[in-house]
Amino acid sequence: MNKKSILYLAVGFLAGILVWTLIFGTRSASKTIKVNKGDWQKLNLVLNSIEQNYVDTIDYEKITTAAITGVLNELDPHSVYLEPQVLKESEDDLAGNFDGIGIQFNVPSDTAVVIEVIPGGPAEKIGMLAGDRILKVGDKVIAGVKFPQDSMVRRMKGPAGTKVTVTVGRGKEVIPFEITRGKIPTHSVDAAFMVNDSVAYLRLSKFARTTVTEVTEATDRLLNEGMRKLIFDLRENTGGFLDQALLLANMFLDRGDLIVYMEGIHREKNVYRADGRGKLKEIPLTVLIDGGSASSSEIFAGAIQDNDRGVIVGRRSFGKGLVQEPIFFSDGSGVRLTVARFHTPSGRCIQKPYSDDYGYEVYERYNSGEMLAADSIKVDTSLTYKTVSGRTVYGGGGIIPDVFVPVDTSKVSPFFVSCNRKAVAMRFASAYFDSHKAELQSIASYDRLLSYLDSADLERKFLAFAKEKENLVPDAGWASDRPYMMAQIRALVGRYSKLGDNAFYHLYLKVDRVFEKAMEQV
């Protein structure tokens, strides 16, 4: 080895010693900071140290979001941080109104089709019609390109007073509408109508700020139309405002009946009872639930079940027994923090256990056989409670219905599955409306709608459409699937009449097994 090599080796060795000394010398010179377990001191120290000493430029927003999200992830599945846009959309959905143009649309294939123009809204005032195909929003082409539906919504929403140009196709015409956005009312009552001379049906999609007002208006009308019994549909209702659930339950319960109570480590026990002033205390009640019924839906269903006020029909509810409180930040973001557990009148908490697959637990219900047989529902026998009349109910995992209805697994023919996968029924209904717009939009009564649908030759036209568009033809399973699919098609076409969603549900319920079982209970 020559002298030059030795020199290089020595320099390299000394440089290594220097780095080692700098690093570990610094450590040895530092003091160990004492922290108390269970407080925020350590986290604050780390964040301060990063701010004061980190080698590179810091993206404070990114780090703050990550830190908040990480902390909340260690709590429970419902304590969450929401970015400004997500929070705004969530708040708008429950507020009872939002800023926009005032339309409802479906995307049957790759083009949005207007199914309803909200009366009095900006779109109606400027001349948009049901059946219009949305081609562009501003300069952005959204037709024929599989544009995400949520992105369409965001482009059409915007602050009241601002303008947006929406270009639609109407027949062979292309019409640009410059629309000034405004306040658009949203509804939580999807449908409310008389099933027969005495039984009414009401479907509630969420517990929004306007829910009790909407339900009151709907039931007042139904009472005038002869309602003596009510089927209250809470399937797929994921909840919303707590006060609306309390006020809604109050409409059906006697004075002093317990609705719910809540408590947490840092929250005193709050007990809520009915005041006895509800208008519907004497109306026999049947409540429909499923795995999508959560939170406020479960508070309502639990109050009805535990007070033996009505019959719960369907399948086990989601199992969310936690109460969230919002925290809003000046940048538009916010946190929903779990602050308490709620307990139904019998004393049960219906919160299901936390797990790694918490949000997908519904698939486990399929795998365990629970969706097919009531005997397969997993119950914690250590969490047994009694209703007012002494019936046994269970905590620890949702509301178990009084009358169980299994999932219908009979419709599995290749033709039926392919039609559903490719949304053929929805696309057919849209195409049918496009060529029969005037007829459908003139129909304002259910009897007239039935007469029209009976004479419309829909089955032949649908099968021809399925053959032409997707080369799909009925197979051996069509005989058993036909009643269900044709009810679906009639409901989708009927929705384009002036009756809207009332028509859809009225027609669709004819093949709804849960509703059928509910009718046996009233």
- Residues belonging to the active site: 295, 306, 320
Q: Where are the alpha helices (DSSP H) in 408-445?
A: 414-421, 424-435, 437-441
Q: CA–CA separation, 473 vs 223, rounded Å? A: 46
Torsion of CA 11, 15, 17, 23, to 10 degrees: 180
End-to-end C-alpha distance for the chain, whole angstroms: 101
Neighbours of 244 (CB within 10 A): 26
| In contact, 448 and 506? CB cutoff 8 Å | no
Q: CA–CA separation, 414 vs 472, rounded Å? A: 9
Cα angle for residues 419, 425, 430 (degrees, 5° grid) = 145
Q: CA–CA separation, 70 vs 41, rounded Å? A: 17
| In contact, 230 and 280? CB cutoff 8 Å | yes
Phi-psi region of 314 (alpha: psi -120 to 50; beta: other; left: phi over 0): left
Helix (H/G/I), strand (E/B), else coil: 125: helix
| In contact, 389 and 397? CB cutoff 8 Å | no
Asked whether the CA dihedral 387, 392, 397, 401 is positive or negative, the reply is negative
Tokens matching residue 449: 């709608």
Q: Which residues pair with 178 in a beta bridge?
A: 165
